[in-house]
Chain A
Amino acid sequence: MSILVYTESENGKLKKAAFEVASFAKGIADLMGTSVTAVSINAENVDELKTYGVEKVLKVSSDKLSKFNADAYAEVITQASKKEDSKVVVVSQSANAKYLAPLLSVNLEAGYASNVVALPNLEEGFVVERTAFTNKAFNMTSITTDVKLLGLSNNAFGLKENEVSLSEEDFSPELSDDNFKINVESVDKNKDKVSIADAEVVVSAGRGMKGPENWGMIEELADVLGAATACSKPVSDMGWRPHGEHVGQTGKPVATNLYIAVGISGAIQHLAGISASKNKVVINTDPEAPFFKAADYGIVGDAFEVVPQLIEKLKEFKANNS
């Protein structure tokens, strides 16, 4: 009956999102008077999960699962959930988790709520708050099936320490060839750069940069802050930056601690995509740009003057505060 949480890892190392979903699962377990079991695939050091309230880890080690495969991973979580007789299953909203969750939902006949932002309300059934209309609204969703599947929005709950004692158990789910019908031919991932989904800070730029040749200072600002880079829709449409960087309603949502927008006017679709970010800074020459209404901090100024100075100041700051 424990709450099952899928704790993701990359190259054997648990991701930050794994600790957040564990914290969230512990919150649910406390409400329901039960404990948290995690399932991990090819992760080392799962012991770290005890800090966030995980009492048991089902450790899956398999070469066949060395590359992410949505159907096979969904099958692993399905079998773990059945073994634990879990009524609530929690995943993150990483690209991989969003990929496998609907498959898992069908396997478990579990109603699925995605983009969940808060602990469930158990007073009238099982009701969760989730974002809808690309962060322009929140919706209370009641899950009416026996088993419930929740996708927790990144950075919506945060890390909550809650140390317990943890036991590890090797778990060998049965997988068939049918689970591996899709072949991963190649993975092209920038290992030196933090992804938008995992970043604490995102530096984003728009048409105000005048051309792709001027992105050097954006990259440098991102480097100083350990940030991911992103861009507005026109910039990706014009091919100045890859589509993967496009933030907004038809691009990626960003729910980060700090979002810095340089030369982005702030179209409604862009602002929706970033509204879950906690702190927003805008740098723009036009004081009438709509972004100033959505931002926490604003600088009216020319990016070509402000950004290089900001980089120098931040370097100084980092040198004095590290």
Chain B
Amino acid sequence: MKILVCISHVPDTTSKINFVENDTKFDTNGVQFVINPNDEFGLTRAMWFKEKQGATVDVVTVGGKDTEPTIRKALAIGADTAHRVDTEPLDGFQVAKELAKVAKDGNYDLIIAGRESIDYNGGMVPGMLAKLIGANFINTCVSLEIDGETATAIREIDGGKETLKSSLPLVIGGQKGLVEESDLKIPNMRGIMMARKKPLNVVEPLAAETQTEAKNFRKPAPKGEVTLVDADNLDKLIDLLHNEAKAI
């Protein structure tokens, strides 16, 4: 089984979010970049398929040279080969098209992406990619088993879960649940040493078109002071929630 894991290079979840150049660009100053958490759960699940079912695991990202430490980390975790499509990601569609080219060329059985990146939160790349290459697609996937040519997946729905069966090739939009947080792999020294020798292919971009353009950003208005209510005066809280907030 050939697996491709799509990796997005994103600011760490604790990053302070600021913008520069008239609020048109994310301020990367002092920001630590990591593998997108939703992708990392999928990468770890892919490692399981490698160890237990003999799968080969490639990883791919779309981005400039600055993304290489992130994709190297995926190699250190255990991926076999990395591909970096050498272009700035501009919108979900452009990224999906670039990934579709890599996916087609590699003839993968299973493509794992995160349900969304934690920076732009577009939530569109996995589905678009599937549609562009004619593969099946399962989103918000929290469990995945492959038996021969059949995938059994559990998808999170509003208020519950759904079990689905699909043939391959399949694209999933993964998230926490594919593996547990405690099972996430941290690269060890041997992995890091080996990663230096593993192939990292720089792929010429298609120069795919975009469909959207991210313009300026703004931060939410600062929050007002909290209204503290005494623990012995819950009637006051109920009054505030009813009359002021109109929430109950």
- The distance in angstroms between the C-alpha atoms of A197 and B2, with both chains bound, is 36
Which residues does chain A contribute within 8 Å of B52, judged by CB atoms?
A: none
Nearest CB on A from B163, distance (A): 4
**Are A186 and B17 CB-contacts (below 8 A) given A71-B137, A137-B220, A298-B229?**
no
Contact for A225 among B96, B155, B248, CB less than 8 A: B248
Q: Is the CB of B229 within 8 A of A133?
A: no
Say yes or no: is A279 at the interface (Cβ < 8 Å to chain B).
yes
- The distance in angstroms between the C-alpha atoms of A95 and B161, with both chains bound, is 11
Say yes or no: is A164 at the interface (Cβ < 8 Å to chain B).
no
Q: Is the CB of B159 within 8 A of A278?
A: no
Contacts A71-B137, A111-B91 known; list 7 others, CB within 8 Å: A100-B127, A105-B124, A105-B211, A133-B11, A139-B120, A144-B213, A296-B224
Give me the 6 closest cross-chain CB pairs, A-B, nearest first. Answer: A102-B127, A195-B159, A111-B211, A301-B231, A189-B160, A106-B131
Say yes or no: is B194 at the interface (Cβ < 8 Å to chain A).
no
Say yes or no: is B65 at the interface (Cβ < 8 Å to chain A).
no
Q: Number of contact residues on A: which range applies?
A: 35 or more
Q: Is the interface of B mostly helix, strand, loop or mixed?
A: mixed
**B55-63, B66-74, B77-85, B174-182: which one contacts chain A?**
B174-182
Nearest CB on B from A245, distance (A): 11
**Are A98 and B213 CB-contacts (below 8 A) given A189-B160, A269-B14, A314-B238?**
no
Nearest residue, chain A, Cβ from B36: A250
Q: Is the CB of A183 within 8 A of B166?
A: yes
CB contacts between A and B, total, < 8 Å: 264
Interface centre among B38, B124, B182 (most CB of A within 10 A): B124
Say yes or no: is A13 at the interface (Cβ < 8 Å to chain B).
no
- The distance in angstroms between the C-alpha atoms of A95 and B173, with both chains bound, is 12
**A38-46, A166-174, A209-217, A305-313: which one contacts chain B?**
A305-313
Say yes or no: is B156 at the interface (Cβ < 8 Å to chain A).
yes
Say yes or no: is A243 at the interface (Cβ < 8 Å to chain B).
yes
Contact for B159 among A194, A243, A300, CB less than 8 A: A194
Which residues from 108 to 138 on chain A have a C-beta closer than 8 Å to any C-beta of chain B? 109-115, 127, 131-138
- The distance in angstroms between the C-alpha atoms of A196 and B157, with both chains bound, is 10
Say yes or no: is B219 at the interface (Cβ < 8 Å to chain A).
yes
Say yes or no: is A61 at the interface (Cβ < 8 Å to chain B).
no
Say yes or no: is B223 at the interface (Cβ < 8 Å to chain A).
yes
Which residues does chain B contribute within 8 Å of A105, judged by CB atoms?
A: 93, 124, 127-128, 211
Q: Number of contact residues on B: which range applies?
A: 35 or more
Q: Kindly supply a per-residue 1/0 record for chain A positions 280-322, scoring 1 wherever the CB is within 8 Å of any chain B CB and 0 otherwise.
A: 0110000000001111111111100110011001100100010
- The distance in angstroms between the C-alpha atoms of A96 and B38, with both chains bound, is 18
**Are A137 and B219 CB-contacts (below 8 A) given A142-B212, A189-B157, A237-B180?**
yes
Nearest residue, chain A, Cβ from B134: A178
Nearest CB on A from B172, distance (A): 11
Say yes or no: is A176 at the interface (Cβ < 8 Å to chain B).
no
Q: Kindly supply a per-residue 1/0 record for chain B positions 109-126, scoring 1 wherever the CB is within 8 Å of any chain A CB and 0 otherwise.
A: 000000000111111111
Which residues does chain A contribute within 8 Å of B234, judged by CB atoms?
A: 299, 306, 309-310, 313
**Are A187 and B160 CB-contacts (below 8 A) given A293-B223, A298-B227?**
yes
Which residues does chain B contribute within 8 Å of A63, judged by CB atoms?
A: none
- The distance in angstroms between the C-alpha atoms of A218 and B206, with both chains bound, is 53
Say yes or no: is B226 at the interface (Cβ < 8 Å to chain A).
yes
Say yes or no: is B241 at the interface (Cβ < 8 Å to chain A).
yes
Nearest CB on A from B225, distance (A): 9
Q: Is the CB of B166 within 8 A of A136?
A: no
Nearest CB on A from B147, distance (A): 13
- The distance in angstroms between the C-alpha atoms of A294 and B212, with both chains bound, is 32
